Chain A
Amino acid sequence: MDEISMEISLTVNGEQITKTVPVRQHLVDFLRIELGLTGSHLGCEHGVCGACSIRVDGAVVRGCLMLAVQADGTEVFTIEGLTETGEIADLQNNFVERNAMQCGYCTPGMLVTAAELLRDLKPRSREDIRNHLSGNFCRCTGYHAIVDAVEKTVNKRLKDS
């Protein structure tokens, strides 16, 4: 069976991209395979684990639950782009400091999801942080260190603002 393809234009991490993609390729496969952006991980591929979380038009979404063709005309940010802009440098440093990752597989999804919580800056309880990150599985850390790192970043940003 011939695979049907479509041309899409979008910006990825600030860069304008036009590519022809198979219509059934999902967005994270596109980012990883076509663009070599391997920071977005695939865990479950059905929207449960959160490892593929990316930012599309300003909102965190499951990259595995969108087709690449649906991203036509959108603005996509992956962990590579968010790292480059420095938007979450403090969060990333706190992840390192608190040892909030072990194998690191969930980390990009955790960071992209936490970034959305940090954008709407206000005091957050540990329970708020846990609820916000409840869609992201981590099989190593037991979550405490991740919550610590996000909490520390929120509190520091509030103090500095």
Chain B
Amino acid sequence: MPTLNMRLSQPDTLIDINKIPDLQGITLEDGIVKIGALSRHVDIAQSPIINEHLSLISQAMHHVAHVAVRNRGTIGGSIALADPAAELPACAVALGATLVVESINGRREIAAEDFFKGLYETARKPNELLVEIMIPREKSEDVSVVMELAQRHGDFAIAGLACLATFENESFEKLRLVYFGSEDKPTLARKTTDAVIGRTWSEKCRTAAIDALADDLDPMENLQGSASMKLHLQKVLTGRVLDTVIDHVGIE
């Protein structure tokens, strides 16, 4: 709608999918949370299934937009639009979501990691519709944290980070860090996590992770900040997020 209002897009045909009942609803089946693409932010924020099984999404909803937008905006819309500063695409990557797209030729499942291609670009073909988001529920040992910096509460992030981690025997066994509001798509940081996974947690380990982020992340400059400022903010968030996980599991 913003691009229509600004006359930036002039589609010949626009199809309103809002009233398709099959695209709505949130269910849990065999350990997978299935979220219909038309589930509104307000419904996701209030869903007992999401709050119980997908803490990362539940936390992220506090940052997603403002009340008037949450009442109408949908998870499918957020993911299909692929705004690089949006929370839900990053959460989908962090949680290893599978995105289901459908066309007249049938259904296709795409891993979230392969779905986001670039600035507002996804692996969805023009004749396909994103119909469902399937997310494996978080395990009891998982710790999830989402943090972001924004100009106003609810605005798109200047810098943000979604994290899913497992910490056992004094070290991170699993760590997925997905950065948003930086590159042209949600970015999974591998070198940063390699600096931490399987190593006994220490201040040195924390520093190594933060230092490694420069090798993972090459933020784009925009009106909200330069590339170097964004990298700095993401480093700060990395430290805070790792500290939060450690606090959560109760290690000194």
Binding site for B on A (CB under 8 A): 23-24, 26, 45-47, 50, 53, 59-62, 64-67, 69-70, 113, 116, 130-132, 134-136
Residue B18 interfacial (CB < 8 Å):
yes
Residue in B1, B16, B67 whose CB lies within 8 Å of A65: B1
Which 6 residue pairs spanning A and B have beta carbons closest together? Answer: A135-B66, A46-B2, A59-B71, A134-B153, A65-B1, A45-B5
Residue B20 interfacial (CB < 8 Å):
no
Residue B152 interfacial (CB < 8 Å):
yes
Q: Contact check, B2 vs A60: say whether CB atoms are below 8 A apart.
A: no
Q: Contact check, B5 vs A62: say whether CB atoms are below 8 A apart.
A: no
- Chain B residues 153 to 189 lying within 8 A of chain A, measured CB to CB, are 153-154
Q: Contact check, A131 vs B16: say whether CB atoms are below 8 A apart.
A: no
CA A69 to CA B14, docked complex, whole Å: 11
Residue in B4, B5, B14, B66 whose CB lies within 8 Å of A134: B66
* Chain A minimum-CB-distance residue to B153: A134
CB proximity of A60 to chain B, nearest CB, Å: 5
* Chain A minimum-CB-distance residue to B5: A45
- Chain B residues 57 to 104 lying within 8 A of chain A, measured CB to CB, are 65-69, 71-72
15 A-B pairs within 8 Å (CB atoms) are namely A24-B4, A26-B4, A47-B1, A47-B69, A50-B68, A59-B42, A60-B71, A61-B68, A61-B71, A62-B72, A65-B69, A130-B153, A131-B153, A134-B154, A135-B154
Complex interface: chain B residues within 8 A of A136 (CB): 66
Residue B6 interfacial (CB < 8 Å):
yes
Complex interface: chain B residues within 8 A of A116 (CB): 67
Given A47-B1, A64-B1, A69-B16, also A135-B6 (CB < 8 A): no
Q: Contact check, B5 vs A70: say whether CB atoms are below 8 A apart.
A: no
CA A23 to CA B15, docked complex, whole Å: 11
Interface of A is mostly: mixed
Q: Contact check, A46 vs B153: say whether CB atoms are below 8 A apart.
A: no
Residue in B4, B16, B18, B67 whose CB lies within 8 Å of A135: B67
Complex interface: chain A residues within 8 A of B71 (CB): 59-61
CA A78 to CA B122, docked complex, whole Å: 37
* Chain A minimum-CB-distance residue to B71: A59
- Chain B residues 1 to 50 lying within 8 A of chain A, measured CB to CB, are 1-2, 4-6, 14, 16, 18, 42
Q: Contact check, A132 vs B6: say whether CB atoms are below 8 A apart.
A: no
Complex interface: chain A residues within 8 A of B6 (CB): 45-46
CB proximity of A122 to chain B, nearest CB, Å: 15
Complex interface: chain B residues within 8 A of A61 (CB): 68, 71-72
New contact pairs (4) apart from A46-B2, A61-B68, CB-CB < 8 Å: A46-B1, A62-B72, A65-B72, A69-B16
* Chain B minimum-CB-distance residue to A62: B68
Q: Contact check, A66 vs B68: say whether CB atoms are below 8 A apart.
A: no
Complex interface: chain A residues within 8 A of B42 (CB): 59
Complex interface: chain B residues within 8 A of A46 (CB): 1-2, 5-6
Given A70-B16, A70-B18, A130-B153, also A135-B5 (CB < 8 A): no
Complex interface: chain B residues within 8 A of A113 (CB): 67-68
CA A87 to CA B45, docked complex, whole Å: 27
* Chain B minimum-CB-distance residue to A114: B67
* Chain B minimum-CB-distance residue to A65: B1
Identify the interface centre among B1, B2, B16, B66: most chain A CB within 10 Å of its CB. B66
Complex interface: chain B residues within 8 A of A65 (CB): 1-2, 69, 72
CB proximity of B43 to chain A, nearest CB, Å: 11
CB proximity of A124 to chain B, nearest CB, Å: 13
Complex interface: chain A residues within 8 A of B2 (CB): 45-47, 65
Q: Contact check, A135 vs B65: say whether CB atoms are below 8 A apart.
A: yes
Identify the interface centre among A24, A62, A66, A70: most chain B CB within 10 Å of its CB. A62
Complex interface: chain A residues within 8 A of B16 (CB): 67, 69-70
